[in-house]
Structure 1
């Protein structure tokens, strides 16, 4: 008779039966994050290969559908407390500006775009993030995208294959090309801030090398950020870093400032990485009112046009996507016909100036005081809530302080950068990701945020 093999009976001293966890068991519950990760990484694809909605926009739509499907399947109440008000408030201004526009049909594409970036994607991020680990996955994706674009940008500067700047093809633009001159700088800034937050306060159970590696990455990303020659991004990044350093603690702040200062001396002073051009570009930040260059003069004219549109229709503005149609009737005669772009594989061309390069003035001109109050009110609530939650987390020895630092840094950067930029290009959808990360930290319940 064949012997029957039976497993040994568990001993009484062994306690309850242990559950075997396979390496992929945790990944199985994280699959809803895949559309969010794809939304972050897909802007790295060359922008010239896509027209209209890009692959990142498709991924963001998939994230919204996954979020809606999960809510229907699980039959959960998705939002509670102040979250529906804060996340949904901007939609009020968008709807009013669309209905009151001179041509509501022409404003509909703008309504869809604004709802995607400022309502639907942030809400999907807020609902799909289950805990701090999910937050770190998305923030790590931002850092990975920054590395890819940063390496590409440095290569463009070294080989002279970047966008045209002062007669030389040296401006680092990554895969975005000269038509989206701030795309690479934007994603590099996101990654730098995410890495800096991890370096200042790494997760408790993180591997030992994570913190120094994050610090090295943050310092290294200063190089492509500098070679982007984007003054507005420089100012926003410095402001965000100063805010986070002030909130991280005096010891971490002094150490980080010393490291960044030494890195700046070595990279620019010691190695001479574009030192003359960088110094001149940095100095131009303080000369924008005394001796502005052509780009600054055009920006002033565009800002004046947006203000004139608001004065004409102060409550509701001229309607979504209405700035290009009303620009010439409100801009001064000093506005040029467009900006010159060339390099990075693109022939010389004139690029029309279709926005004021200031998100707040764009909203004011197109949506009036109603739209500006709704949008800025939502952003202010997210920023204040994120800072408040960070203070509470620090005082209680919270394990996810790194998530709070990243959320505050990214939200601060977005708020400051919108003084010099508006939406447009493949990186636009990343603004929704950033707002969603800030919303999760500021508005999610303690049971979600307190998870390591």
Structure 2
């Protein structure tokens, strides 16, 4: 009997091989996951000689865009000897939705008074709203790739939220009312919205997955996802970000409403009961949270300083737009025109301190409203193109989610649609109180890419029509078989 020439098996070899093969199978989504997790790197760690505003996540997002461009240029026919699917090109609808903002950015930049000064803004807008979302759209091939990215977003939120809670408990966070208790995570005091954004994304993602668990997973996913969502409420509250609170509440209400009226009522009752116990009974951060929440609507009766500055900047942005209603003053043009249009009560800057940053005054370089920022800098041309692009993503995403819910066999893909829709609604509401800027902005571009994948990619609907496709393929005779005679 001939001896076997196979190498002796080693303990754990099969597990390692399985893990590596799974990672290789998810290859196109790995750069997206790496970009998300690189946001955990503290701000200012881009390396020696790097631009102060460039982060490791920015660098990785650029590599992702270049890699996707190379893959498209080297694209081969779908059926190859390796059996791996070739990267898809953008569909005509995706080209329209992503290309319209790019064309508008180019027009407003060329029409500005100083195109050279507006060029960095043009590149930034192109990166965040066209190139990176398009790269994510091309990188995600199916629902499993999208779930891998969603898991990375939740993991990032848990890490940043954990760091933020420690900062709030130990007094090592950013300054808030004279005390270093504001949770900012690894983003630092110069980007106080960074941790709130990451935690909000993770909370919405976890809630969407918990309410719509895919059938292919075990029973552990629902309680684990809902537990993560509940745990992330704490760092979100300690971030003292009013815009993130409102946006998260809006997105969560939408997800609950999509799930059903009974789920909505039960969830709201549980949240109300928990709030009464924590705030009313135990007195957890009662004074700070109550004062912060009330300051949202206080305008004339002893308003918060930040609220006054915000509304003053909104008025200045509207006045700037009236001077150039068609194309605005050009990207990055708001700071130059701010002082000539702002009221006298506008502060010279905002106080920043804590979390390793000494006290300093940060200039107010934006109106803290993305829609007014685009309107003032790029006029109606840029605003209609950009907001129209987001509206198209939301409409297409909701339509595909409705189709997935209507087909009972397609519940495996409903979680991806719920995540994409919830994150897009969160971003749309949050842009009413904030804009782009800081290290966390790359995460916004990645989230828009996930929403674009669900709304525009043919692969996102593959699971939706999975059974019908399987039946259609089964009815086609195999070319390797000859019909029975």
Given the two structures, how large is their TM-score scaled by the length of structure 2? 0.87
Does structure 1 conserve the Cα–Cα contact (< 8 Å) formed by 2:453 and 2:460? no
Does structure 1 conserve the Cα–Cα contact (< 8 Å) formed by 2:141 and 2:460? no
Comparing 294-303 and 127-136, the one that deviates more? 294-303
CA 1:411 to 1:180, structure 2 compared with 1: closer, same or farther past 3 Å? same
Does structure 2 conserve the Cα–Cα contact (< 8 Å) formed by 1:67 and 1:128? yes
List per-residue Cα deviations over 1:202-236 (Å, max 9, x = no partner). 11111221110111110010000000111111001
Find 1:166's aligned residue among 156, 177, 201.
177
> Hey, what does 1:321 align to over in structure 2?
332
> Hey, what does 2:382 align to over in structure 1?
371
> Hey, what does 2:10 align to over in structure 1?
none
Separation in 1, partners of 2:166, 2:68: 39
CA 1:288 to 1:207, structure 2 compared with 1: closer, same or farther past 3 Å? farther
Matched, 1:33 2:44: no
Displaced runs of 4 or more, over 6 A? none
Comparing 286-295 and 206-215, the one that deviates more? 286-295
List per-residue Cα deviations over 1:377-429 (Å, max 9, x = no partner). 00000011111111111111222111111111100000000001010000111
> Hey, what does 1:438 align to over in structure 2?
451
SS of the aligned residue for 1:408 comes to helix
Give 1:27 shift.
Answer: 1.7
Does structure 2 conserve the Cα–Cα contact (< 8 Å) formed by 1:200 and 1:252? no
Separation in 2, partners of 1:350, 1:368: 30
SS of the aligned residue for 2:44 comes to helix
Does structure 2 conserve the Cα–Cα contact (< 8 Å) formed by 1:248 and 1:405? no
> Hey, what does 2:39 align to over in structure 1?
43
CA 1:150 to 1:6, structure 2 compared with 1: closer, same or farther past 3 Å? closer
Unmatched segments (≥5 aa) in structure 2: 6-16, 47-51, 77-86, 467-485
Give 1:448 shift.
Answer: 4.7
List per-residue Cα deviations over 1:146-200 (Å, max 9, x = no partner). 0111001100111111111111111111111221111110000000001001110
SS of the aligned residue for 1:329 comes to coil
> Hey, what does 1:18 align to over in structure 2?
none
CA 1:449 to 1:284, structure 2 compared with 1: closer, same or farther past 3 Å? farther
> Hey, what does 1:427 align to over in structure 2?
440
List per-residue Cα deviations over 1:342-400 (Å, max 9, x = no partner). 11121111000001100000000000000000000000000111111111111112221
> Hey, what does 1:220 align to over in structure 2?
231
CA 1:447 to 1:416, structure 2 compared with 1: closer, same or farther past 3 Å? closer
Give 1:270 shift.
Answer: 4.1
Structure 2 matches for 1:131-170, cutoff 5 A?
131-170=142-181
CA 1:110 to 1:72, structure 2 compared with 1: closer, same or farther past 3 Å? same
CA 1:179 to 1:405, structure 2 compared with 1: closer, same or farther past 3 Å? same
Give 1:262 shift.
Answer: 3.7
Find 1:401's aligned residue among 394, 414, 424.
414
Separation in 2, partners of 1:113, 1:78: 24
> Hey, what does 1:11 align to over in structure 2?
none
Separation in 1, partners of 2:459, 2:382: 31
Comparing 288-297 and 426-435, the one that deviates more? 288-297
Separation in 1, partners of 2:20, 2:269: 41
> Hey, what does 1:12 align to over in structure 2?
none
Give 1:259 shift.
Answer: 3.6
Structure 2 matches for 1:11-410, cutoff 5 A?
22-50=18-46, 51-75=52-76, 78-288=89-299, 290-397=301-408, 398=410, 399-410=412-423
SS of the aligned residue for 2:92 comes to coil
Unmatched segments (≥5 aa) in structure 1: 8-20
Does structure 2 conserve the Cα–Cα contact (< 8 Å) formed by 1:97 and 1:316? yes
Does structure 2 conserve the Cα–Cα contact (< 8 Å) formed by 1:441 and 1:449? no
Matched positions, count: 437
SS of the aligned residue for 1:52 comes to coil
SS of the aligned residue for 2:186 comes to coil
Does structure 2 conserve the Cα–Cα contact (< 8 Å) formed by 1:197 and 1:406? yes
List per-residue Cα deviations over 1:97-124 (Å, max 9, x = no partner). 1101111111111111101000001111
CA 1:288 to 1:247, structure 2 compared with 1: closer, same or farther past 3 Å? farther
Separation in 2, partners of 1:350, 1:437: 36
> Hey, what does 1:415 align to over in structure 2?
428
SS of the aligned residue for 1:349 comes to strand
Separation in 2, partners of 1:277, 1:365: 34
Does structure 1 conserve the Cα–Cα contact (< 8 Å) formed by 2:314 and 2:369? yes
SS of the aligned residue for 1:74 comes to coil
Does structure 1 conserve the Cα–Cα contact (< 8 Å) formed by 2:256 and 2:263? yes
Separation in 1, partners of 2:330, 2:417: 36
SS of the aligned residue for 1:48 comes to coil
Does structure 2 conserve the Cα–Cα contact (< 8 Å) formed by 1:150 and 1:224? yes
